[in-house]
Structure 1
Amino acid sequence: MKNKPSPYAQTDFQEDESIHIFKSSIDRKRIKTDIKSRDKYPNFDGYIEVVDDDQCSIGKFELQVKTIKNSTGTFYCKPELINYSEITTLPILLILVKIDQKKTYWKHLIRENAILTEEEKSYKFIITDEDLIQENKNYIFDWITILNDYQQRILNYKSIESMIVFNEFTTPPINTNKEQIEFYQLFVDQLNNGIERTFPFLKKYKFTDVWKLGVAIQKYNNGTSFGIFAIPNGKTDLLIKEINTKKRINPFDNNHRFLQFFSSIEKESNYLSLSNRFLKNYLLDVIKNRAFFFKNLDLATECVFSFVQQYHFILGIKKSNKYDLRKIKHRLSFYFPIWISVALDTIEYPPHIPHIDISLFTLNRTEEINKKTRNIVKNRINYKLKDSLLFHSEDTNLFHVQQSLNLLINNNINEISSPFPAPNYTLIKKNKGFYPWELYTKSDIKKTIESFYSKIFYIINDFCIDNNFPAEFLIKIKNSYKFIVVAQINKNLNQPGGIEITLFHVETLQETNPCGDIIFLYDLDFIKKNYSYEWFESGFELGGNKYKLNSWQSSIDIGIFHRKPYYDFLYKYLESQASEFFKSERIF
């Protein structure tokens, strides 16, 4: 017939069927769906909301539902979808459905979970049975962990919400002179340019859902004070306003901690120093909260291994030098939340703490108490979970642990062990001490030093490049630049553990005998006894090569013996470099 109406798309049935299978595979009591079929939006199929057993909301996801072939173990998506995940204000779940098998898989749609193809035209997600939505409801806890991470970031930066609320107390400027307007224009431009161009990761980790920052002025007889407010995405507003004196606002109210008061702003003649002061604080805030996740196998191994070593009893796993990753992943999703719920009923948890700090469960727990808890967990598979609360620890980001597990498994790594030699605790009794010297042989200390410093500088550079840090944060360790790692290992030293490490960053002036980027020495006497530092800085010979000192630092706090040496060194470096970066005035 010539007058037939326009047909539906060939994929219309598949889309409806995939959504139906997904809905039938989830726990409808805990997961509330709002999914649109035949939608016209390219990156959006609807929402799902996770609720607790009392039907109170825990959090919401955006959804993207896709049909995949029965035989496939991968899914490819365009870069635009990944880019969209970084600007939307909610976390996104990618739902993948095999229609004939009636199986539904899920992935958290973020760049860190995907692999960029060689042609760089698409991203690949690897699908395993661990991603299957099953009746045991492991997926619910995984989703809650993602939501908790998102909410924890919001809690860490609650001032952003206050900055948006502050806009209610402002009005368009009335009596501000031209010079002041120009000053604040330059200040606001510098502030927003620094966030958007120089440190773009601040948009993701601190200023989520913020379009621009603005400044609100309040005049007094002896000067001017001001506050920073935030304009959310999707709203238009002036960037320079005045505080509305008709509305009462208490600057000492905890809900308005964002206000920055100066008794005489006229003395702040340099807009650069003022705006850079704010940017430095914003940057250090994100660094100190360790908000970043970085796709690096060494960091992922360290993250998972240190977590299991410390909390193995909460996972029902015996402490060991090696761990099976799939067992950890299963225990983290299933055993861990039940254990926490049972343990909370056996202790008086501090009521003033708004989240479940898992580090508190390491205190005063005997093996007898742990054994009793394990037995209860085994018999309470359907135990009511206290999952509406945030799981959090001062030194552990549970979301990062999950991401690290996924990264390792996606790279076909099934087992992890410590990257460094294990401590020998029998040496403590022999040496009657508690320093690293008493826990390791001299040979093991050397192995640890060389294993750590042969990687850490490259990890830092890759991290800074991946997160779009300014070039000044990169370490020069290519071409003519090298590191000389000098370690003194002597139990008679007046240092903790009898170990001191000095890092010399040098530039090669003449290389007769080619060597690697990192040189290890175990004696500082060749400098201390025979040469002055003036000579060392002007040029010195080592192994037939001539070098010039660029910088050096000495440390007796040996981070290689911390639980997370890579992470600790990385973030200490970032803090130090951030302070160094803002020593000079910069225009962004």
Structure 2
Amino acid sequence: MSKERKFAITPAPYAASTVPESKSIHLLLGLLEERYIKSDIKTSDKVPNIDGTIEITDAKQVPQGKVEVQIKTISRKKGTQTHQCHGDFLAYCKLGILPVILIAVDAESKIAYWVNMDESVIEDAESRAVGETVAISFPDANIIDGNSLEYVEKWTAIIQGRREKVYHYDLLKSQLESVDKFLVELSEKFEPAVTLPPYDLISIQKFLDCLNYILDYEFKIVKESIYPNYWKIGIAIIKYESDAINFILYPVKYADSKPLIMKLKKGVEYDMHQEFENDNFIMMVGRSRAKFNRDPMGVAYELVDSEIVKFLKKNDLPIEDEFISLEYLFGFIERYHSVFGFDPDDDTYSIEKLQHVLYNLIPVYKSRNVSAAPGVTDISATIDDYELWGPHVISSSFGKAQEAIDHGYIPQYKVTVHSRHYNMKLVRYYLDGFIGKKVLKRKYRFGIRQFGELHNRQNWNNNSLLESLAVFWGEFYQIYTKYVENNFPCLKDELRLLKEGQIWVVLYVHLDNGAKWLEIYSMQVNRTDLPKIIFSDFASPDAPIDRSKLSNHDNWDCMFLNAPARIKSVKACSLDFLLDVSPTYYLIRSFANKKIEAYLNRRIKAGDPFGY
């Protein structure tokens, strides 16, 4: 007879740390701002390494990304602001895809501290480890107290930095590799379009003539930036029927004899949408055949319109000018001053030190602290990641990089430094312009450090603003002109800022209630000896325009500096541009891009610019 087995044991108890850590998690959830933080954190879970995830959203509730979190309990009353981490947790943080935030909750003070478990923190911990655990410190500045939202901004930056590493590594290179692969397949699935009717062939040739003229002459800078080693743009026809034409555009390399007009081989299947999703060609197009034949030039301008505008909104183009060079570099240095070890209030900076950090210390540090797949030779480093480090971590990390350099270390990777706020190609371009000089000398001050936050505009110092604005507007016209002549020489008449005999009078308006703005008066003046832009304080006795006498908008004929003149228009301009990473580039984009959009719209409507 079988015996019934009885288990004389009780259920397993909760771990001794369950109660305090559960309290810490509940306290943390109360400190986190629900507008921006969506938590999925469990108490008493058995998942190793992490306690859950946090999703960050912006003010409009649009998700920005996720971080994983590990939550621990500390007591500052006992003098501890560290946590002993096991080696397996460090390994998880090092190999994980999502950023890991270690959070320590002090229940007595109802404050939480955090640290981003990035490669610098892990490297420092590994260098100090002597047993199975190592102490991780929490910076005093990294707090969650239920009031400040600084942690939201920092976590968002951490997410963006990780996303850039994972998804945006050398994007242009991968796109061009996809295009090259597609061009090989093109020869297998497409053939020269020799059987098209002559009338249709002429329309396609006109279209390609115009398209390549736009990219080779009018917007050459755009083509050189996106497709630097390609000769022309070709067309591959997928479908050519009585009512519609579907085609793709592809680049043709120099020294490639591939024809510019091709069509799909008979009986060949081709998934145009899938190829487009793979970035295998420039553009996928569907148009009515009647419109294409009637107005091939308009179609060409229509197709490049949005791509050109999008490119120019995202990219600051080089200008051969010392003022804009210094403005851009000083903005860059002030943004990342902690990375370079500079005082942001200085008026001079060492070029040698700046270049050493950018070209030597960051690449060496990155090369020594990256886990790359076999065969990878090119990697990227985002300078914004180092901006989040404290002075001690920067000093320690870059100090080790310097020691490696001193001992003859040669990086095994080619490291490209990126920035989420500045065009690094432009930074290097402008730095190269100061070869032979030892220091950069400030021309004028701008930005949040000088004037304050936008919402505190009434506290901005008028004297500082006047001084900076006078310098800025004294340089703007000639810099704008250089921008157009350098980058759009074929369109300089279309894009010029001011017509013959036209000047701007820019008044700085500031009222007793703290309101501040600019007024730009466009004037036609019968004098040739005046500067193109005149700046003044509206309250100055020497102001060239008296605003109180301009109430009659129907009659703006006047005497201006003893010459007949007419005010053509007046527009208000916010001072927000002074807080941009580069005020000059901000206004250049504002004025030049509007003129470019207007030009493209005219061409789309006008169609044939060649008189075919």
The answer on 1:573 being equivalent to 2:591 is yes
Partner in structure 1 of residue 251 of structure 2: 230
Question: Displacement of 1:257 after TM fit?
Answer: 5.3
d(CA) in 1 for partners of 2:548, 2:190: 63
Task: String of CA shifts for 1:40-96, please: whole Å, max 9, x gaps.
Answer: xxxxxxxxxxxxxxxxxxxxxxxxxxxxxxxxxxxxxxxxxxxxxxxxxxxxxxxxx
Query: Secondary structure in 2 aligned to 1:241?
Result: strand
Residues 1:393 and 1:204: Cα distance change in structure 2 (over 3 Å): same
CA separation in 1, counterparts of 2:492 and 2:193? 38
Mapped pair 1:516 → 2:531: yes
**Distance of aligned partners of 1:387 and 1:573 in 2 relative to their CA distance in 1, 3 Å threshold:** farther
Displacement of 1:235: 2.1
2:361 to 335, 338, 342: 335
Whole-Å separation in 2 of the counterparts to 1:212 and 1:567:
30
Q: Do the aligned partners of 1:314 and 1:340 also contact (CA within 8 Å) in 2?
A: no
Segments of 5+ residues of structure 1 without an aligned counterpart are: 1-149, 346-352
Pair 1:219-2:240 in alignment: yes
Matches within 5 A, 1:465-504: 465-469=485-489, 470-477=491-498, 480-490=501-511, 492=513, 498-504=515-521
Q: 2 CA distance for matches of 1:244 and 1:357?
A: 46
Q: Is the 8 A contact 1:251 1:259 kept in 2?
A: no
Q: Determine which of 278, 295, 299 is the counterpart of 1:274.
A: 299
Q: Counterparts of 1:346-385 in structure 2 under 5 Å?
A: 355-363=380-388, 365-381=389-405, 385=411
The offset of 1:456, in angstroms, is 1.4
The aligned counterpart of 1:306 is: 331
Do the aligned residues in 2 keep the contact of 1:324 with 1:416 (CA within 8 Å)?
no
Cα distance in 1, alignment partners of residues 331 and 199 from structure 2: 56
* TM-aligned CA distance change 1:207 to 1:290, over 3 Å: same
Normalising by structure 2, we get a TM-score of 0.60
Give 1:441 shift: 1.5
Larger radius of gyration: 2
| Structure 2 CA distance for aligned equivalents of residues 209 and 386 of structure 1 | 27
Residue 575 of structure 1: how far off its partner (Å): 2.0
Aligned partner (choices 288, 302, 314) of residue 264 of structure 1? 288
- CA 1:360–1:326 in structure 2 vs 1: closer, same or farther (change >3 Å)? closer
- Aligned-partner residue type, residue 516 of structure 1: P
SS at match of 1:272: helix
Change (3 A) 1:552 1:529: closer
Report how many aligned residue pairs link the two structures: 418
Secondary structure at the aligned position of 1:583 is classed as helix
SS where residue 400 of structure 1 aligns?
Answer: helix
Q: 1:203 to 1:559 in 2, by over 3 A?
A: same
Equivalent residue letter for 2:565: Y
Are 2:381 and 2:418, in contact at CA under 8 Å, matched by a contact in 1?
A: yes
2:320 match: secondary structure? coil
- Aligned pairs for 1:326-475 (under 5 A) are 326-340=352-366, 355-363=380-388, 365-381=389-405, 385=411, 387-410=413-436, 412=437, 414-417=439-442, 419-420=444-445, 434-438=455-459, 440-469=460-489, 470-475=491-496
The answer to whether 1:195 aligns with 2:215 is yes
Taking a change above 3 Å as real, the CA distance of residues 166 and 461 of structure 1, as seen in their structure-2 partners, is farther
Say if 2:202 is the partner of 1:182: yes
Q: 1:237 to 1:421 in 2, by over 3 A?
A: closer
In 1, Cα distance between the equivalents of 2:175 and 2:474?
34
Partner residue in 1 for 2:269? 248
Query: What's the TM-score once normalised by structure 1's chain length?
Result: 0.62
**Percent of pairs with identical residues:** 14
In 1, the alpha carbon distance for the partners of 2:561 and 2:595 equals 31
Q: How is 1:141-160 mapped onto 2 (pairs within 5 angstroms)?
A: 154=173
Q: 1:275 to 1:442 in 2, by over 3 A?
A: same
Divergent runs of 4+, >6 A: 156-159, 342-345, 421-425
Is this contact kept in 2: 1:464–1:473, CA < 8 A? no
Q: Matched residues in 2 for 1:446 and 1:535: separation?
A: 30
RMSD, aligned CA: 3.7
Give the secondary-structure state (helix, strand or coil) at the position aligned to 1:396.
coil
